[in-house]
A = this chain, B = another copy of it.
Amino acid sequence: MANRAMANSIERRSGVSLWRQIADQILHSIAIGDFAENAALPPEMALAERYGVNRHTVRSAIAALVQEGVLRAEQGRGTFVLSRKRLSYPIGRRTRFSAGLQGQASERRSVLLEATVEPASRRVADALKLARGSDVIRLEARGEADGQSVSRATSWFEARRFAGIDAAMAETGSITASLERFGVNDYLRQSTVLSARHADAADLADLDLRPGAIVLVTVAVNVTPDGQPIQFAETRFPAERVELKLSAL
């Protein structure tokens, strides 16, 4: 398995530097479990040969990953893997942040970054079945698991019905708990659309990523059991730290 995963070649003149491509591949190998925690990476010379580049180029890749805290290099001994496998984030009819990561991370929370009231864009109005331009509350939140950023969500709620949900969210750190204060004791995932792209500047800052990283993006609508839309959300997940597990619903 290690062979198949690391045999991937790299492309020149692609706009992505060789060291970045190699760093990405090493990161991928770790993520799919090619290296156990604390395992030694192959020596620089071996990696250079495998990828067909100079040893210094491999060193640039390793330096970047050391900087990111993924690897630790020790002179005379070798280079070692620090980071663990990806978190698996379940998505299903009842998708909840904290409950979903139970068992994978001991400490998990949702941090409210910003809350504002704004007129609904077409996209938001359509999803929540509101008139375009009517007031909605936008919440910006970051999900953290064991101190690491694992998600970054932007949510919209009807302002009239959920006035004050920002305060509830700041207090409880949970969407589920906040919605309960408004009489929503249960809600279901109506639709989820999934895509992936390179992280933009905001993602880089919020999720503590390096430029060139990939984010998984879900756009979802949550509804009450009787089908009334209550939340529209776009969530970004760092692909190198998180995978999404679509659970049978």
Measured between C-beta atoms, what is the minimum distance from A122 to chain B in Å? 8
Per-residue interface assignment for chain A, residues 1 to 35, with 1 indicating a CB less than 8 Å from any chain B CB and 0 otherwise: 10000001111001111011101110010010000
- In the complex this chain forms, how many copies of it are found? 2
Q: A59 interface residue, CB < 8 Å from B?
A: no
Complex interface: chain B residues within 8 A of A214 (CB): 196-198, 214
- Quick check: B243 and A193 within 8 Å, CB to CB? yes
Assuming A19-B15, A214-B198, is B244 touching A193 (CB within 8 A)? yes
- Quick check: B204 and A11 within 8 Å, CB to CB? yes
Task: Tell me the nearest residue of chain B to A8, going by C-beta.
Answer: B200
- Quick check: B246 and A191 within 8 Å, CB to CB? yes
Q: A75 interface residue, CB < 8 Å from B?
A: no
Which A residues are closer than 8 A to B by beta carbons?
Answer: 1, 8-11, 14-17, 19-21, 23-25, 28, 31, 64, 86, 88, 91, 93, 121, 123, 189-198, 200-202, 204, 210-212, 214-216, 239, 243-249
